[in-house]
Structure 1
Amino acid sequence: MTTPLPFHETLDLSLCGSMGRVFRLCRDTVTLAVEPLGLTQSRWTAMIHIDHLQQGVTQQALATSLGIEMPSLTRTVKQLEQQGIIVRRVDEQDKRSRKIYFTEQGLQLLEALRGKMAEVKTQLYAELTTEQLDTMAYGLVQMEANARRCIKHFSGEQ
């Protein structure tokens, strides 16, 4: 008698592949929802990361958080600055570094962005219980930790 496969093994693209597909769909949903605010995917993503890391974050820390190279980030930061959403100031401790702050207009836009994202999350989480969402969240946190350990292992880091 054959034991049936666990549900996660029956997914078309594997669990990790499905997570990637769902991530892209969620990101695209937010991008469409915030389009009326004049924000592209790279801009709203940068704003959310600045907010999460808190104002005064360095460009380098923001690039690391976003998982992108500085040249890619520099273009987005310049665009946000030209729109009057952020300002960059030289770090007093390290003159080579620049810190990012929201302008008053940027803070207002951030509030609107948070509202749109809350609306999208409500729709995306529809028909899922708090228990299901928590289980998913705990699983993702553990998979991230496992992936970081795997990267260290396979790259030869200690």
Structure 2
Amino acid sequence: MDKSISQTIALLARRSQAYLNHMLGEYNITAAEQPFFLEVNHQEGLTQEELTARVCVDKAATTRALKSLEMKGYLVRLKDEKDKRQNRIYPTKKAKQLESAVKSEILCFNTQLTQGIEPQMLDLIYTGLLKMEENIADSAKETGGVMMKNYHSTMADWPVRIWNLYEIPGVFREPARHWMERDISKYNFVYAPRQYTRPDSFAYLYGYGEDKLLYLKENISKVGRRGGEETQMEQVEIDRHQIYEVLTFQELLDARFILLYSSETGQHVLELPYNSSAYHLYNPLLNWILGLKWDFDTSLAEREHPRPQELCQKSMSMYNYSLNAYRLGKEFQSYTYKSKPYHPVGKGLKAQLEEWLSIPMEQGKFEAYRFGYRTECRYLIGAK
């Protein structure tokens, strides 16, 4: 009998949806709603458009799911303080209380789904499915479809959160499994795929938790006259307390998360490049490095000890960046702000402002720099 792969995948999708509907029924959450439920809990304050891009569905599906979750009391929409035309979506207390239970159900489902399948076979299945998705995306591009936009914004350019061991790409899985001692529940993992539109890019995986961090980088080099590829794995293991500085850099779509740490052999730099749209995966890492809860909210921290309003009068942009200083302490009163106008050569070109900000905090010093489209935020741990 002929076997259709597409029919098998469709059948698996339908049965998986039915299974999840049954498992999540006691929480009054459907299979279609659960990815939105998890995203809203993981990153508060997203817009409906941002959720549509992350879950990779059409706008109508997002509207239906969010409306249903709102009616069930799992989320609320609040006006953006800076743009009243925009609504931002937040989980309710009820949703926060059920988050861990829903995650456990998803993990149980993945375990049930892959039961009895050897890791090597799972690698082949996962690789094959990704290739099929790529083929569909390429086909959609050729026919003018809309799928390509979602595909490239999530698979080709954006890092993704890893929820279970078998989502880790095969080349990284064994060293990650050994490092975590087979217990992924204690750690957070993020995988950043190679960006094929950028020749200098590379794939990497990082995981953190229990005061330790793992970084795995795939180095691909050309060998032989025919330009074959050779892959080598770079592995770095760091204790959280070895990190003495964190730098976040962004210039348009170019974003980098840079760690400076010390060891017995000296000082080292670890750079994690990423698409700026995926900042929500790196803020929890920053919070963890600084000894905070992964979902630490700087805006909530400011309510008890507001920032000096005079800084807002000097520079609105630096006032906004200064909110990050609360990751290094509860309040600040003193700061140093400097600015210098830059006059580009050429008729009709407007002057630009170069700005610096330094704020001493209890746990270190926060520094910000801005010029044009370039912004840098520096966290100097323990510095005064």
TM class by shorter chain equals: 0.7 to 0.9
Give the Cα separation in 2 of the matches to 1:90 and 1:21: 41
Give the Cα separation in 2 of the matches to 1:83 and 1:59: 17
Contact 1:59 1:97 in 2 (8 A): no
Cα 1:59–1:156 change in 2 (3 A) is closer
1:1-158 aligned at under 5 Å gives the runs 10-11=2-3, 14-51=4-41, 54-64=43-53, 65-70=55-60, 72-155=61-144
State the 1:82 CA deviation: 3.1
Cα 1:36–1:99 change in 2 (3 A) is same
State the 1:51 CA deviation: 4.9
Contact 2:41 2:90 in 1 (8 A): no
Contact 1:50 1:57 in 2 (8 A): yes
Gaps of 5+ in 2: 147-384
State the 1:42 CA deviation: 3.2
Give the Cα separation in 2 of the matches to 1:57 and 1:37: 23
Cα 1:74–1:25 change in 2 (3 A) is same
- Which has the higher mean CA deviation after the structures are superposed, 43-52 or 138-147? 43-52
- Which has the higher mean CA deviation after the structures are superposed, 30-39 or 75-84? 75-84
- Which has the higher mean CA deviation after the structures are superposed, 132-141 or 91-100? 91-100
- Which has the higher mean CA deviation after the structures are superposed, 142-151 or 72-81? 72-81
- Which has the higher mean CA deviation after the structures are superposed, 78-87 or 26-35? 78-87
Cα 1:133–1:147 change in 2 (3 A) is same
State the 1:60 CA deviation: 1.8
State the 1:49 CA deviation: 4.3
SS at match of 1:101: strand
Give the Cα separation in 2 of the matches to 1:37 and 1:156: 36
Gaps of 5+ in 1: 1-8
The normalised TM-score by structure 2 is 0.34
The normalised TM-score by structure 1 is 0.76
State the 1:10 CA deviation: 3.7
Seq. identity, %: 28
Contact 1:63 1:73 in 2 (8 A): yes
Contact 2:80 2:87 in 1 (8 A): yes
Contact 1:87 1:100 in 2 (8 A): yes
Give the Cα separation in 2 of the matches to 1:148 and 1:78: 29
Letter in 2 for 1:116: E
Letter in 2 for 1:16: S
Structure with greater proportional strand content: 2
Cα 1:146–1:93 change in 2 (3 A) is farther
Cα 1:91–1:49 change in 2 (3 A) is same
State the 1:30 CA deviation: 0.9
Query: After superposition, what is the alpha-carbon deviation per residue over 1:81-134, rounded to whole angstroms, capped at 9, x for unaligned?
Result: 233211212234543322212122212212111111111221111111122222
SS at match of 2:50: helix
Which one has more relative contact order, counting CA pairs under 8 Å at least 6 apart?
1
Query: After superposition, what is the alpha-carbon deviation per residue over 1:23-53, rounded to whole angstroms, capped at 9, x for unaligned?
Result: 111111111111111223333242134356x
| Pairwise CA RMSD | 2.5
